[in-house]
Amino acid sequence: MKFKTILSSVRSSWIFRQWDRILLLFVIAAFFIILPSQGVVFFTNESIKNPFRQVPFAVPAPRPYPVSRTNIYPQGEVSATGVVIFDPESGATLFARNADESLSPASTTKILTALVALDAYNLDDVVTIQTVANSGQVMGLLPGEQITVENLLYGALIHSGNDAAWALAEHYTGGVDAFVTAMNTKAQSLHLTSSHFTNPVGYDNPDHKMTATDLARLSAFALTNHTIAKIVAIPQITISDVAHTRFHALTNVNQLLGKIPGVGGIKTGWTEEAGENLVTLVTRNGHSVIIVVLKSADRFKDTAYLIDWVFSNFDWKTFTPPIQD
């Protein structure tokens, strides 16, 4: 009997109709099993030995790492209680002293105040001055004066104006208390786990504390903000209210700006309890470090010494891991 006749007979039986598709699939599967593996790609040991050979993008170059060539470290030459020297590019700490001791940050607090303000406001937002914080260093704001957020940031970061920092906080939805809550939330998001803030200015308070490690970490993050990085490097500037009727001449409190090559900020701080505080960014030969000194007897002398020590004792080297085949 011919194949077509047999197939027709099978199809006529109801019990076999349900198996037609199964039979067809079986035939197709058998065809591919018997078919020679032409054009089929198999992975060999050689092809998976180094899979990165076929990565279609450039692997980032290793970052230069600071390496001491003398193993000489500061001793009694530095008066500060808390010290951290941090390389933000590699994440390396070049030197630390009491890095995790809780100390009063004083006006270095205003670095965080600026970050929270920039999260909440636009630079051209206009603030109407309400309460004026007249104690300590001020830029000379008056009640009712209208001034932009940008100019208040100049006042807080360049002149370390307590009145400017307070005005930024008071303008916040919910007022100063809500702003301080936002400061602590921001600190936690930046993993400043040993820090707590009670005011936007840096007034002494038993619960207003930072460590040198946290301050270095905060400063490194703040410098990624172009507005802050620009402002803290300005030696002096004159700004005005929005009506250009009141002018404020601001001078940077950081005496190292313009005096020591490569210094680009960042922030000073002083109270009787805190002593002299200073956070400094310095860049030489394409390498930057952040130097934090807390509770110093002479913050500028300490920092100048540490700058010389860093660039006299460290080289930046790139370590390239060997390629393994």
pLDDT in tens, 104-136: 999 999 999 999 999 999 999 999 999 999 889
Q: For 191-221, what is each residue's pLDDT tens digit?
A: 999 999 999 999 999 999 999 999 999 999 9
Contact 30, 22 (CB under 8 A): no
Residue among 79, 102, 110, 135 flagged as catalytic: 110
**Can you list the residues of the chain whose pLDDT is less than 70?**
1-61, 320-325
Kindly state whether residue 60 falls inside one of the protein's structural domains. no
CATH number at residue 289: 3.40.710.10
Q: How many structural domains is the chain composed of?
A: 1
Query: What is the DSSP code (8-state) at residue 109?
Result: G
Catalytic: 160?
A: yes
- Please give the pLDDT value at position 186: 98
Residue among 4, 9, 160, 240 flagged as catalytic: 160
Kindly state whether residue 50 falls inside one of the protein's structural domains. no
- Please give the pLDDT value at position 22: 59
Kindly state whether residue 195 falls inside one of the protein's structural domains. yes
- Please give the pLDDT value at position 234: 97
Catalytic: 107?
A: yes
- Please give the pLDDT value at position 3: 44
DSSP string, 178-245: HHHHHHHHHHHHTT-TT-B-S-SS----TT-BB-HHHHHHHHHHHTTSHHHHHHTT-SEEEEE-TTS-
Kindly state whether residue 89 falls inside one of the protein's structural domains. yes
* pTM greater than 0.85: no
Domain of residue 201, residue span: 65-317
- List the Cα angle 263/192/283 in 5-degree steps: 15
Kindly state whether residue 28 falls inside one of the protein's structural domains. no
- Please give the pLDDT value at position 323: 54
Kindly state whether residue 40 falls inside one of the protein's structural domains. no
Kindly state whether residue 104 falls inside one of the protein's structural domains. yes
Kindly state whether residue 35 falls inside one of the protein's structural domains. no
- Please give the pLDDT value at position 223: 97
Residue among 13, 90, 107, 219 flagged as catalytic: 107
